[in-house]
């Protein structure tokens, strides 16, 4: 830590935070007797708090965002040069970084063609939902308006996005929700719903989507929104056979495929986008967190040209365009940062590093599974990984949230910040989550896994 803030300044910061900041995802009663942790500085994979305590960040800013790591001066420079030149103009007109980042992004997404800018993952998803609804009105008399979502997936915090939320604890107490959103079953084989394995399981889980479409009526279903790898719902990598069948079903019933890449997008799983592991062709791809690694707020709703064309086929109709407003979609810091973020990933070979380090980490976590009976399942793709903790491997009874919290706290005490599923699926907030920056080295991974090893030993000895 460079020590620019004195201990006095920092004490004031803590008091100001305690008095006035409402933190996300935190029960505040504890701050009546303890201080909040303030992260003061970051460099590479590491952060420092108000006490100067260093930690290895194994979750890229807690919510899987800082893909290229902290302290990237070239991103800061790109932002500051752009802000001095032009900080903002609303998106009805163009901007230099907006055009250039769109071009660069589309290069990485064969089959896709248009980028709609916004500023959070939730909003990017809302844009896609609105497009689906508008297409239903324009082409199907409003009938083909239903949007399917999957149990255990999450698509954002706004009421519209929560209406597509498959995590009961995220949604609880925030209803009523928007109509026209319909759930399909999750595809986690470890918590199997069908007595099948591998590819047969994957196909069966996808067939469950067809069953829902047939039950609802194919002429009422406009789209399905899916995470490529379910993130906060338990790090769920769909089984083999799943995606191919999903694509077939979408084509068969003319259901638009919306892939929510808010977490997996821009390198997290070792490809530019998670869906690219599976050779599928989406109609919508939404992304946010890693797009500019948190250096600026930016999210994108990317569509195929086929979708885009539906909004410009009749220019004589004054209602025939996407009548959405995105004030902060006109901020230029986001695309300026995103361009430089993408350059770094390319020039430093971070996709390859993500694949190599992801493979290494899953091997190391699997070794831990051999050592600790409490690890029931290890899963993930690239540098997005999870370890599900169970009290009994045979019954798969989850460990308590208190125990999961103790494991996370134990890692914290050892100087490693890890995550865990949190207020997500009732009774199943039992998966440790890891999403280190894409620059992680073997030494970093070893430090993370060793901290987990020691913490598991302490909590479950």
Ligand X SMILES: Cc1ncc(COP(=O)(O)O)c(C=O)c1O
Q: Do 298 and 306 contact (CB within 8 A), yes or no?
A: no
Is 416 among the residues that bind ligand X (CB under 6 A)? no
- Judged by CB under 6 A, the residue of 263, 351, 390, 439 near ligand X is 263
Judged by CB under 6 A, the stretch of 77-85, 94-102, 121-129, 439-447 that binds ligand X is 121-129
Tell the smallest beta-carbon distance from residue 370 to ligand X (Å): 30
Nearer to ligand X, 121 or 358 (CB): 121
What is the spatial distance between Cα 265 and Cα 434, in angstroms, rounded to a whole number? 16
Q: Do 418 and 445 contact (CB within 8 A), yes or no?
A: no
Q: From 419, 423, 422, 415, select the one nearest 433 (Cα to Cα).
A: 419
Alpha helices in 279-413 (DSSP H): 305-309, 333-347, 350-371, 401-413
Tell the smallest beta-carbon distance from residue 317 to ligand X (Å): 32
Is 456 among the residues that bind ligand X (CB under 6 A)? no
- Judged by CB under 6 A, the residue of 262, 417, 456, 459 near ligand X is 262
Nearer to ligand X, 50 or 163 (CB): 163
Tell the smallest beta-carbon distance from residue 9 to ligand X (Å): 30
Return the biggest CA–CA distance within the chain. 72
Tell the smallest beta-carbon distance from residue 133 to ligand X (Å): 18
Is 121 among the residues that bind ligand X (CB under 6 A)? yes
Nearer to ligand X, 22 or 317 (CB): 22
Nearer to ligand X, 337 or 390 (CB): 337
Q: Give the tokens for residue 114.
A: 């248009």
Is 122 among the residues that bind ligand X (CB under 6 A)? yes
Tell the smallest beta-carbon distance from residue 288 to ligand X (Å): 5
Judged by CB under 6 A, the stretch of 88-96, 149-157, 321-329, 359-367 that binds ligand X is 149-157
Is 154 among the residues that bind ligand X (CB under 6 A)? yes
What is the spatial distance between Cα 15 and Cα 409, in angstroms, rounded to a whole number? 23
Q: Which value, in Å, is the radius of gyration of the alpha carbons in the chain?
A: 22
Tell the smallest beta-carbon distance from residue 119 to ligand X (Å): 8
Cα separation values, 153 from 235, 238, 276, Å: 10, 12, 19
- Judged by CB under 6 A, the residue of 35, 104, 139, 157 near ligand X is 157
In degrees and rounded to multiples of 5, residue 37 shows phi and psi of: -85, 130
Q: Which residues contact 19 (CB under 8 A, 6 or more apart)?
A: none
Tell me if residue 205 falls in helix, strand or coil. helix
Cα separation values, 64 from 17, 292, 354, Å: 23, 12, 14
What is the spatial distance between Cα 62 and Cα 152, in angstroms, rounded to a whole number? 19
Is 146 among the residues that bind ligand X (CB under 6 A)? no
Number of residues in contact with ligand X under rule CB under 6 A: 16
Q: Do 233 and 384 contact (CB within 8 A), yes or no?
A: no
What is the spatial distance between Cα 54 and Cα 354, in angstroms, rounded to a whole number? 24
Is 270 among the residues that bind ligand X (CB under 6 A)? no
- Judged by CB under 6 A, the residue of 156, 165, 294, 334 near ligand X is 156
Q: In this structure, is the dihedral angle defined by the CA atoms of residues 407, 409, 413 and 414, taken in order, positive or negative?
A: positive
Helix axes 442-460, 401-413, angle to 10 degrees: 130
Is 63 among the residues that bind ligand X (CB under 6 A)? yes
Is 228 among the residues that bind ligand X (CB under 6 A)? no
Query: Residues 279-298 vs ligand X: string with x where CB under 6 A?
Result: ---------x----------
Judged by CB under 6 A, the stretch of 36-44, 82-90, 114-122, 445-453 that binds ligand X is 114-122
Q: Segment 73-92, which members bind ligand X (CB under 6 A)? A: none
Contact positions vs ligand X (CB under 6 A):
63, 120-122, 125, 154-157, 227, 231-232, 260, 262-263, 288
């Amino acid at each position: 830590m460079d020590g620019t803030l004195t201990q006095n300044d920092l004490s004031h910061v803590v008091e100001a935070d305690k008095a006035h900041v409402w933190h996300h995802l935190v029960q505040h009663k504890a701050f009546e007797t303890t201080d909040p942790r303030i992260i003061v500085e970051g460099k590479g994979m590491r952060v420092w708090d108000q006490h100067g305590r260093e930690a290895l960040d194994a979750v890229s800013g807690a919510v899987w965002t800082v893909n290229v790591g902290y302290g990237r001066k070239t991103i800061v420079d790109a932002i500051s040069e752009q802000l001095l030149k032009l900080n903002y103009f609303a998106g009805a007109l163009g901007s230099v970084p907006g055009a250039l980042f769109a071009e660069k992004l589309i290069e990485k997404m064969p089959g896709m063609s248009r980028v709609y800018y916004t500023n959070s993952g939730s909003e990017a998803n809302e844009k896609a939902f609105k497009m689906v609804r508008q297409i239903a009105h324009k082409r199907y008399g409003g009938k083909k308006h239903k949007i399917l979502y999957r149990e255990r997936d999450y698509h954002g915090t706004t009421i519209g996005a929560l209406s597509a939320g498959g995590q009961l604890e995220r949604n609880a107490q925030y209803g009523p929700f928007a109509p026209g959103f319909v759930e399909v079953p999750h595809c986690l084989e470890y918590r199997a719903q069908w007595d099948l394995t591998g590819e047969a399981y994957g196909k069966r889980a996808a067939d469950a989507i067809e069953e829902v479409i047939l039950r609802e009526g194919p002429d009422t279903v406009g789209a399905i929104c899916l995470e490529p790898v379910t993130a906060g719902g338990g790090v769920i990598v769909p089984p083999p056979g799943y995606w191919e069948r999903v694509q077939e079903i979408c084509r068969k019933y003319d259901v638009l495929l919306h892939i929510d890449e808010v977490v997996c997008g821009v390198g997290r799983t070792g490809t530019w986008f998670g869906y690219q592991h599976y050779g599928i062709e989406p109609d919508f791809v939404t992304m946010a967190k890693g797009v500019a690694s948190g250096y600026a707020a930016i999210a994108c709703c990317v569509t195929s040209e086929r979708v885009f064309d539906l909004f410009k086929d009749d220019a004589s109709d004054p209602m025939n365009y996407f009548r959405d407003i995105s004030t902060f979609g006109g901020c230029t810091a986001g695309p300026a940062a995103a361009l430089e973020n993408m350059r770094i990933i390319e020039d430093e070979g971070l996709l390859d590093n993500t694949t190599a380090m992801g493979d290494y980490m899953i091997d190391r976590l699997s070794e831990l599974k051999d050592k600790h009976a409490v690890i029931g399942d290890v899963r993930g793709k690239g540098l997005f990984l999870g370890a599900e903790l169970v009290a009994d491997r045979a019954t798969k009874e989850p460990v308590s949230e208190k125990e999961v919290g103790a494991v996370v706290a134990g890692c914290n005490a050892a100087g490693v910040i890890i995550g865990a599923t949190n207020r997500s699926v009732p009774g199943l907030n039992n998966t440790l989550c890891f999403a280190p920056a894409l620059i992680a080295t073997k030494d970093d991974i070893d430090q993370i896994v060793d901290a987990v090893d020691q913490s598991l030993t302490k909590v479950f000895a």
